Each structure stands twice: as structure tokens, then as C-alpha cells.
Structure 1
Amino acid sequence: MTTAPVFERDAALLPAVVLDLELSEPLPRVAATTPDGRRVQQAWALVRLFTEPLGSVLVDVPDHGLSPADLAAAVDDELGDVVRPRLGGAPVPAGGFTPATEPEFLAGRRAVLAGAPDITVVVCTRERPGALARCLDSLLAQQYPGLRILVVDNAPATGATAEVVRSAARRGPVEYLREPKAGLSFARNAAVAACPGQILAWIDDDEVADPYWLAEVARALAEHPEADVVSGVIVPAELETRAQLWFEQFGGHSKGRGFRPDVFGPHSAHRQSPLYPLPPFGTGANMTFRPGVIERIGGWDTALGAGTPAMGSEDTLAFTQVLLAGGTIVYQPTAVTHHYHRRDLAGLHQQMVGYGTGLTAAYTSLLMSRPGLIWQLLKLAPVAFRDLTGADSLRVATLRADFPRELLGANRRGMIAGPRAYLRGRRTARARLRQHP
């Protein structure tokens, strides 16, 4: 690679401090220097009002830092059209805001929680005990009554994961399941088989859940009884390195979906094909399926996902299959999880390769099961070509001058490798099934 290496942490610089701003409370002051002496370059903030996530802002931090008034002005400039109507037309306050009556958003959540359904949260993991413990801590802190947590230990090499689960189980409803066949889709399928008839919410082990994550999932299920799947927003938990900031520039896990709710189904096919662009409807690190939906689409494709040559996109394929079968996916941006992005450039490079490989591998899987879709995909090919090559496409519009362009090349090389990777993955999955029937 031609780009200089990016280490886990620059001793002199902090690319961005991550904030969680609640507009009903006084806004903080952002210092230009951290306690350990690093210069803060930017502030990334998730903006809420009465706990409702309304959007995010990225603000440059000057030498004198950011005052509460500076933050309020930045939020008002970026999100004023969303925030001001909730404040009776007033600008974003720096000193907090006290409503005269209970906010409608909080009243709605309270009503949902009064009749909230039981939800099983699934965490599939392999040999990352520290990250898993952090994730489980956030799940046990959920503001939700009917919670069960299932940890699927995928092809474990040690007992570290089991020990983390035993420790967490002393504090709440955490259960352990071992899946010997390596691969995320094998782990996902094991969870589905172990939880018949249950609502399954999925989160990755390198995330933490917002305290109201499941409450907002339940809100979406209540407001959309037709929903087969609910997906939420994934925001950065930290931006400690340039590589993490570059991942956000590329769209992060949200891929430009923003904080506007949406519903995808048969009624939306005229404006959004289930086939491309992918995936506007969500991602596997924050998704919830109603009972029976995964079974109806044939389960998770074991030739896709982490631990396979394809490296990912079992979630993309599942979303597409749900929509092609006439199902409905609700995008609920108030259901938030926080992700710890890969810290170094080598890890980001591998992730970009994986995104490309997984995407075309998922298409290969789809065409092998439904070859007639080739004609629809060919019609969408010009749009895909423009996205890959256009200077103003959504894929590159958010990239800044410092973004290593070689990462885009890595993503494209992954796309070329995807079909062959999928075929190798099928052979690997068959061998694992023979080894562990």
C-alpha cells in the first residue's frame, strides 16, 4: 500500500471526540486538548432531544475549543429544520430546555413499554472476551422489561467466552450456546434453531447498545404490525484514529441512511429496488426479525458472513430475500447501537475488501437460487456503474481530501473476487457440515 501506516493512536492528535448531546440539558464545553495532551481536531456528536436521536453533526474544534453556544449554533445550522419544530420554532438552546408537559416521544415510549413483547438479543462471537463483556454490560443496562440474551460461541478455541457469559449471567438473563462449525452464518442459524417463535434482535460483539435500543425496536414493532424486520442506526463509539474517521467518511455502518424513518416493502419497490443499491434498509449489526421470518427465507447462507471467503453480506442477502418475498423492513433510526470501528489502516483495508467481496458474493448466491433475476440486475447495472465511477456519487460524496483512495480500489478488487469467494465458501460450508453434522 502507498499510504503511510496509521497506528492505533496518534500521541499528538485526537481525530474526533465523540459526544452524546441531549438538548434538554446544558451543552458541554469541548476543550481543544485532551487531559493526556492530544489536540482534538473535530467533535462528532449524536444529537438528541428528550432521548430521541435526531441526527449527527461533525464540527471542527478551533484552538480555543468549542463553547456551549458554539455547539448550539452548529446543531442549529445542521439540524435546525428537525429540531426547531420540536422547540416551538426557537433556535437550539445552549443551556437546556424544559417542556411544560411530558414530551410526546417519551409518552409514546412509556405506552410501548407497558405492553412490550419479550425479545431475545443474540450476540454471535469468537474469542473476543473483552469486547463481549463490554457489549453484555450495555445489554444488561437496557431500559426494557422482557429481555433475554443469548451468546453464541462460534468454534471456540478457549473457554474465555464461556467465562464471560458465566460472569454476566450472575447479573441478568444471559445464556450460552456453543456452535462448533466456524462461520457467522452457522452461529446465526444455531441461534434461530434454539429460539423458535421468538423475536430475535441481533447485535455484534464490537458494539454497545444504547440504553433505549430495545424500547425503540419495540416501538417500531408496535407501530408497524406488518414489519418483518426492524433495522436501526449504528453510530461510532469512538473516533480515536484516522482509520476510524475514514470509515465514517465512507459512510460507516449507516451508509447515508440518516435519521429519517422509512418503510421498505412492496409499496416502495418503484422508488427503491430490493436489488440495488444495497443495502438501504439496514445492516446485520443492528437488526430485529419477527418469529419465523428467517426460517421462511431458508435461514442464513452459510457460504456468506464473517469466517467465510466472502467475509460478509449474509445480512444483505437476508434483507433482499425478505423484500423479494413481499416482506416489509422498517428503518427505525431511534434504535441506536454504538460501534467500535477498526483502529488501524490495515484493518480498514481488509474491511473494505470484505465489503466488496461480500456484496458480489451475495449477488452470486441470489442468482444461483433465482437465475431469472439476472435481467433485473442488468437493468440496474448502469446505476451501479455510475456509483462506482462518478465523482459525485453517494459512494464518494462524503469523502474528504485525506481519504486514502487506495481503499476504494481495495473495495473494487473485493467485488471482482466475490463470485469465486462465494463458490469457495459453499465448498467450505459443506466440509464443515461433514465435520460437525
Structure 2
Amino acid sequence: MTTPVRLLDGSGPDLVTDFELTAPVDIADRTSDGVRRTRAWIVLRDHGLPVGMLTLAIPDGGLPAAAVTEAFTGVRVPDPAALQAARERACRDGATVTAVVCTRERPEALRRCLESLLRQDYPHATILVVDNAPTSEATCRVVADFPSVRYVVEPRPGLSRARNRALAEIDTELVAWIDDDEVADVRWLTEIARAFLEYPDAAGMSGVVVPAEIETAAQAWYEAFGGHSKGRGFTAADFVPGAMRQSPLYPLPPFGVGANMAFRHTDLVAVGGFDEALGAGTLAEGGEDTLIFTRLLLADRPLLYRPAALTRHYHRRETERLAAQMRGYGVALTAFYTSLLLDRPLLLPRLLRLAPTALRDVSSGGSLRNIGLREGMPSEFMSLNKRGMAIGPWRYLRSRRQVRRDS
């Protein structure tokens, strides 16, 4: 059991829970651990489909179900029978998929992730663990407890190298990616298969990532910053080159997130896989997922956003680790753009036209990027983020040289 950690505002840890609109139940103010919860992060579901998320105060005595239902202003499932039929068709006719977990020395988190993958209701799936530059046998021992899970080692450090190793190992039509510090909703793979079945021309898709817990101030601040899903919400979207209102180059959040993404295997191979100078474990610290989405859009391949494919992420609990993450996000962002321009220099005029908008977003307190500052996030975190942006190009160039030396 997780030891409760008090938030900096003096309240106890928050409650993270689901709420089924077709069978509403009151939300208690105390959980089984006896800790008083004063705020709830609620994933709203309609016939099991995620349709929204609310953050509500929990009064003494609990939060009545009627209050939650009244607060929800999203869209309900218009035809539950059609939804069920679509799920059944996906389980019957959907493509084969490999769920890939790239991991490094986080055995307990990996175990939790694998347990969620083995609970999936999708019948045409396999699971692959890529152990990236291991320094112990811990990951191998965990996977040994799951006989149906495949295990491979990628000895060279770097998340992109681990991702590319997975691409070389699998033979399924689809590949789905989940981080080792996440758990997947039981229908995660079914909803991925349904999306590709209903949009057969799509090259890739991303789902929604919600918090698995909000036990510390750092976790609450991260969600205020937008969490993994960066405000994408619970409305499905299609990103079709030539029919999009926004540029595929900026702003980036709508297109997808590496913690919950899936692609047609052939499309990933066609665009060259992942840039091994980007990603966790490199000097660039990230950005490989953003680049793969952008490469596909620039290759005129459609992408989908489907919040029905839901995962839960265990955010960093410590303030120091969140600070490092915010700095790393800044590094990764400008490293991504450096990679993009080095490979496609003719994009420079388009990026320069977008630069004034980007600068306004970075500096404006009212922008979506900075909205977390109004929720109590320390301004120092955003300063660290900007410092990371300043060194990202240099970091990427060093990383790229390192990759070439090791090849």
C-alpha cells in the first residue's frame, strides 16, 4: 500500500477514481486506507467508454453521485448498442498487435504494467518487453513470472534504440507502446484495434493518459501543467494532412504522446523508425515520439486521437524529479526541432512563420502551456523548462555525433 503523502496546501492526498454514468455511485470521503480525501480526479465513463474527466472537491461525508452527474457537461454515448457491436467486431476482425514495454531497471513498475496488459480483453495480442542496457537481472526475473511475455535485450542505452529493436523483433500488423510506469485500461488494445479497423488508412494513433494517483504536490502540479495528455481531452480527432487547420509543426500536443501510442508496423518502417539521437537515455532526453508523429504527417499519413484507448500513468512523486522532468521536456522540444531541420532543412521557412506564435505561448501566462502556474506550480519549473530549450539543440548535436560513433 502506498504511504499517503500530504500535499503542500495542507490537504491530504487526492482520490483518483472512475465514475460510470449509467450506474452512478456516491464517492466516499475516505478510502480503504482510512485517509480523508478532499479532492477527486474523476474519469467519467458511459457504458465503460471514457467520456470526460472532472476535478471536484469532496465535502465532509462524501460526494453525492448526483453532484458528479450534474457537473458532467460532456457528450454521452449516442448509441450504446452500436458501441458494443463495434467492440465485438474489433475483437473478431481486428489486426494482430504487439504491446511493447521498453524498460530499464524498474522491476516493480514493470510488473504492475504487465499485469494490466495480461488483463486485456483483446484476443489478437502479444506482449514484448525490451530490456534496455540492463545493469542487473531484475527485469529478466520479473518477465520470467509471465510465461506468455516475450523478452529481448537491447544492450545499447536509449529509448529510441529500444523502440527500434522492438520494430525488428515483431511481425504483427500493429505495434502499441506503453511506458513501464503505466497501467492499461482493460479495453486499451481493443480500442486501438477498433480505431484502425474503422479508419483503415490511418498510420498511427494515440490515446488519453490520465493520472494513476495524485498523492503528492509534484503529481498535482504535473497534472496542472497538462499531464501526459496536455489538454487533449476526451473528444476523438482525426489529423489528415491537407485537411488540418493547424500546422503539423506547431503546436504539437494534439498529435499524440509516446506513453500511449500505436502504429501500423509498415508505416513506422517506411519513415525510418525512431531517431536514436532522441529519447530518454540520450543527451536529448526525449522527443522521439514527437518526431515520429511529425514524420508521418509530413509523409501525408493520417493520425488519430482516440481517448477511448486509456492508460494511467504514475507521475513522479518527488519535487526534485519533477523539476528534472520539466527541464528535460525543454531539452527534448528544441532537440526535436533540431533533428527535424537537419534532416529537412527546407522546413525552415515554415517554422520561422510559426515562431511568433511559439514565442507568445512560451511567454504568455494565459497560454495553455503556462496554465499550470495558476494552479500553484512553482514558476521555477517553467524557468527550468526554458533553460532546457536553450541547450536542446546543442544536446541533440552531441547525441547525434555519439550515435554515429557507436554505429
Q: Hey, what's the Cα distance between the residues in 2 that align with 1:36 and 1:105?
A: 36
1:368 partner letter: L
Q: Hey, what's the Cα distance between the residues in 2 that align with 1:382 and 1:201?
A: 35
Pick one of 243, 256, 279 that aligns with 1:282: 256
1:423 partner letter: L
Q: Hey, what's the Cα distance between the residues in 2 that align with 1:237 and 1:385?
A: 33
Alpha-carbon displacement from aligned partner over 1:42-97 (angstroms, at most 9, x marks no partner): 1001000101110100001223331222222223xx43xx13x74xxxxxxxxxxx
Q: Hey, what's the Cα distance between the residues in 2 that align with 1:197 and 1:302?
A: 23
2:179 partner letter: D
1:2-401 superposed matches below 5 A: 9-10=5-6, 13-31=11-29, 33-36=30-33, 38-75=35-72, 78-79=73-74, 82-83=75-76, 86=78, 103-169=81-147, 173-196=148-171, 198-269=173-244, 271-401=245-375
Q: Hey, what's the Cα distance between the residues in 2 that align with 1:333 and 1:297?
A: 25
Q: How far did residue 25 of structure 1 move?
A: 1.7
Q: Hey, what's the Cα distance between the residues in 2 that align with 1:264 and 1:68?
A: 36
Contact 2:203 2:303 in 1 (8 A): yes
Q: How far did residue 366 of structure 1 move?
A: 0.6
Q: Hey, what's the Cα distance between the residues in 2 that align with 1:339 and 1:385?
A: 30
Partner residue in 2 for 1:3? none
Gaps of 5+ in 1: 1-6, 87-100
Q: How far did residue 16 of structure 1 move?
A: 1.6
Alpha-carbon displacement from aligned partner over 1:9-40 (angstroms, at most 9, x marks no partner): 22974342001111122313321x44555442
Q: Hey, what's the Cα distance between the residues in 1 that align with 2:336 and 2:254?
A: 15
What SS is found at the alignment partner of 2:390? helix
Q: Hey, what's the Cα distance between the residues in 2 that align with 1:316 and 1:376?
A: 17
Q: Hey, what's the Cα distance between the residues in 2 that align with 1:406 and 1:111?
A: 50
Pick one of 387, 395, 399 that aligns with 1:421: 395
Q: How far did residue 293 of structure 1 move?
A: 1.1
For normalisation by structure 2, the TM-score amounts to 0.95
Alpha-carbon displacement from aligned partner over 1:228-262 (angstroms, at most 9, x marks no partner): 00111111111111111110100001111111111
Contact 1:310 1:358 in 2 (8 A): yes
Q: Hey, what's the Cα distance between the residues in 1 that align with 2:80 and 2:271?
A: 42
Partner residue in 2 for 1:92? none
Gaps of 5+ in 2: none
Contact 2:176 2:263 in 1 (8 A): yes
Q: Hey, what's the Cα distance between the residues in 1 that align with 2:178 and 2:56?
A: 29
What SS is found at the alignment partner of 2:369? coil
What SS is found at the alignment partner of 1:103? helix
What SS is found at the alignment partner of 1:165? helix
CA-based RMSD: 1.8
2:19 partner letter: L
Q: Hey, what's the Cα distance between the residues in 2 that align with 1:309 and 1:104?
A: 48
1:139 partner letter: L
Q: How far did residue 399 of structure 1 move?
A: 4.1
Structure 1, 385-394 or 314-323: larger mean CA deviation:
385-394
What SS is found at the alignment partner of 1:9? coil
The verdict on how the C-alpha distance between 1:147 and 1:10 changes in structure 2, with shifts beyond 3 A counting, is: same
What SS is found at the alignment partner of 2:269? helix
For normalisation by structure 1, the TM-score amounts to 0.88
Q: How far did residue 8 of structure 1 move?
A: 8.0
Q: How far did residue 429 of structure 1 move?
A: 1.9
1:48 partner letter: R
Alpha-carbon displacement from aligned partner over 1:242-284 (angstroms, at most 9, x marks no partner): 1111101000011111111111121334x11110011311111
Q: How far did residue 291 of structure 1 move?
A: 2.2
Q: How far did residue 417 of structure 1 move?
A: 1.0
Structure 1, 304-313 or 17-26: larger mean CA deviation:
17-26
1:9 partner letter: V
Contact 1:27 1:71 in 2 (8 A): no
2:369 partner letter: R
Q: How far did residue 395 of structure 1 move?
A: 1.0
What SS is found at the alignment partner of 2:98? strand
Aligned length: 403
Contact 2:91 2:124 in 1 (8 A): no
Structure 1, 179-188 or 10-19: larger mean CA deviation:
10-19
Q: How far did residue 424 of structure 1 move?
A: 1.4
